[in-house]
């Protein structure tokens, strides 16, 4: 476990998956990140690569043949190397191995940098294509934020304030893949998303097509708690389906699960990213504590 702190915040990051484990107020000790109680979900903030979500029938068709890649990819289970540490930042590195080739036969280098900037945590990703052919991939963040005044007996635990132009959502259906129908955004009269069991009756709220640029978590009194920012084209908001859960995930994804019945090539998968031979790709998300 590696730690980083300034006068405002402290963080802990695990070598396993380069996963953020803690985001605390340095003065009060208040924890903003979900701590992984398996009663609901044992994750914290996994990094999803080389796919986000799932593949129809578990298969991905590439120029190197048909691949079977597990849901959300495999780097979240791997040991990463701490490549650089400064007073303000931690950079973790994962380089593909021969053992990865059965699932993903491409040479790549993946960096995740965690940088404290006042009361904000900047998380930057870099994907470097170490081979000569095109590298098609998806990458996603999955930070889970604690609901600050969650109580078991309360049906409503806070709100989300969305920035951008949220117009409609899609849903994950069979095999966790994307249904063709679109649905209205479940907004309150004052334009917020209320957080409760009904909000996630169909699992995640999925916004595609760059509808969202940022999302702010509000407590039950509508006081701002934390804001997540990213230029990712897809955002998911998720809490375990059918459970009254004490956290919500705000997930910026550079990619999306397959549509139901999809049998096309990897380069046509939803919001697929590409790094040409020898090139680097960059993405990010940022958590601002308010």
Q: Which two tokens stand for residue 83?
A: 């490549």
**Cα(53)–Cα(283) distance, rounded to whole angstroms?**
18
Q: Judge whether residue 193 has pLDDT over 80.
A: yes
* Residue 149: pLDDT over 90: no
Q: Name, in order, each residue with C-beta under 8 angstroms of 8's C-beta and a sequence gap of 6 or more.
A: 25, 26, 27, 116, 118, 119, 289
pTM: 0.96
Q: What is the rounded CA–CA span in Å between residue 185 and residue 207? A: 9
Identify which of 137, 136, 134, 83 has the alpha carbon closest to the alpha carbon of residue 113.
Answer: 83
CA distance 136 to 272: 7
pLDDT of residue 152: 77
| Residue 266 φ then ψ, to 5° | -60, -35
Distances (CA, A) of 252 to 28, 138, 141, 195, 231: 28, 11, 5, 18, 8
Which residue from 265, 269, 264, 22 is spatially nearest to 146, judged by alpha carbons?
22
* CATH class for the region spanning 2-289: mainly beta
Q: Which residues contact 205 (CB under 8 A, 6 or more apart)?
A: 169, 185, 186, 193, 199, 236, 237, 238
Interatomic CA distance for residues 216 and 31, integer angstroms: 17
pLDDT at residue 154 tops 90: no
Tens-digit pLDDT profile for residues 19-72: 999 999 999 999 999 999 999 999 999 999 999 999 999 999 999 999 999 999
Report d(CA 287, CA 290) in Å as an integer. 10
DSSP 202: T
Across the chain, mean pLDDT equals 96
Tell me, what's the pLDDT at 153?
75
pLDDT range class, residue 157, cuts 50, 70, 90: confident
């Amino acid at each position: 476990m590696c730690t980083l702190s300034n006068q405002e915040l402290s963080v802990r990051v695990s070598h396993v998956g380069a996963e953020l484990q803690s985001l605390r107020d340095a003065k009060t000790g208040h924890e903003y990140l979900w701590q992984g109680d398996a009663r609901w979900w044992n994750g914290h903030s996994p990094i999803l690569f080389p796919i986000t979500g799932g593949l129809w029938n578990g298969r991905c068709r590439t120029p190197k043949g048909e691949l079977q890649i597990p849901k959300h990819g495999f780097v979240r289970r791997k040991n990463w190397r701490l490549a650089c540490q400064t007073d303000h930042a931690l950079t973790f590195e994962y380089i593909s191995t021969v053992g990865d080739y059965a699932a993903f036969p491409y040479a790549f280098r993946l960096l995740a940098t965690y940088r404290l900037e006042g009361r904000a945590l900047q998380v930057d990703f870099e994907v470097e294509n170490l081979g000569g052919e095109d590298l098609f991939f998806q990458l996603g963040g999955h930070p889970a934020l604690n609901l600050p005044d969650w109580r078991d007996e309360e049906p409503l635990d806070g709100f989300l304030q969305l920035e951008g132009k949220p117009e409609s959502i899609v849903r994950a259906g069979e095999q966790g893949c994307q249904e063709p129908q679109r649905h209205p955004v479940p907004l309150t009269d004052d334009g917020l998303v209320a957080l409760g069991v009904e909000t996630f009756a169909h699992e995640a709220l999925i916004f595609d097509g760059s509808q969202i640029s940022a999302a702010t978590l509000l407590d039950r009194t509508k006081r701002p708690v934390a804001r997540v920012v990213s230029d990712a084209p897809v955002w998911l908001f998720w809490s375990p389906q059918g459970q009254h859960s004490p956290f919500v995930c705000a997930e910026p994804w550079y990619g999306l699960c397959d549509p139901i019945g999809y049998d096309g090539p990897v380069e046509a998968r939803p919001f697929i990213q590409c790094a040409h031979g020898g090139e680097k790709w960059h993405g990010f998300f940022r958590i601002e504590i308010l």
